[in-house]
Each structure stands twice: as C-alpha cells, then as structure tokens.
Amino acid sequence: MSITVNNQFTGIDFRYIKDTGLNGSTARNNAAGTSGKLYAIYVDNTAGSSSSGYLKLYDTVAAVTNGTTIPDFEFRVVTNTRQVFMFPEGLTFANGLGYSASQGAGTTKGSNLGAAYADLLFVFK
C-alpha cells in the first residue's frame, strides 16, 4: 500500500491524494490535512472482487470507523471498471476529508473489498 498526500502544484493550484491500497480494512482519517473542496475522484477497480463496493467520504478530522461513522457522500464503485466522479463546483469539506470503502452501503460495513483499489486519486483544493 502506498499513500501520497497533499502534493501542491503551484502552476495549477491543486493538491492530490493518491492511495493504492484501500480495501476497507482501514479507513483513512483527515487525509487532506485541511478543509477544502474536492473536484474529482478517479477509481481503478479493475482488480476488484466479484462484488461492487462503495467509496465513502466523511467531512471530519476525527477518526472514521467504517460501519459506524455516517458518510457524508457515498459512491458505488462497480467491479472491474475504472470510474471518474467529477464535481465542477466542488464538494466542500469544511473540516477535513476522511474516506473508506467496503461492500456495504451507508453505515453498513459489509465485507472488505476482495482486492484493494489499484489506484484511488482525489483532486482537492
């Protein structure tokens, strides 16, 4: 697993978060390290399990518990696909950005994903 966080590109003024090992076993807490807006998510689930999963986003700096903490946003990630979620106006995270993934929707944890997302990339400002 590799996580790259908060790389600043001054010419275009954005940061990205890249995660290559999210499978639901561990939530990511306050990944951006600050408040801001999320403009895009790229998910490579081509190595995914036979079941679709859910990417859950949390507006908090507190620790996130998959299956207990209520997500602020949730996206269905289909197995064996690459998906891009775009937010032209940005999704505001007033506190911080936490995220997790599992086969269960909402606060239902369900099982961990059969295989980690090969690439998960957030574009954040």
The answer as to CATH 3.40.50 being correct for domain 3-124 is: no
According to the model, what pLDDT value does residue 95 have? 95
Give the tens place of pLDDT for each residue, 89-112: 999 999 999 999 988 888 888 788
According to the model, what pLDDT value does residue 49 have? 63
For the chain, which residues make up each domain, given as ranges?
Answer: 3-124
Question: Residue 120 and residue 42: Cα distance in Å, rounded?
Answer: 6
Structure-token pair, residue 13: 């003024």
> pTM for this structure?
0.86
- The percentage of the chain sitting over the pLDDT mark of 70, rounded to a whole number, equals 87
Range 32-54 average pLDDT: 86
Closest-CA residue to 119 (of 39, 34, 55): 55
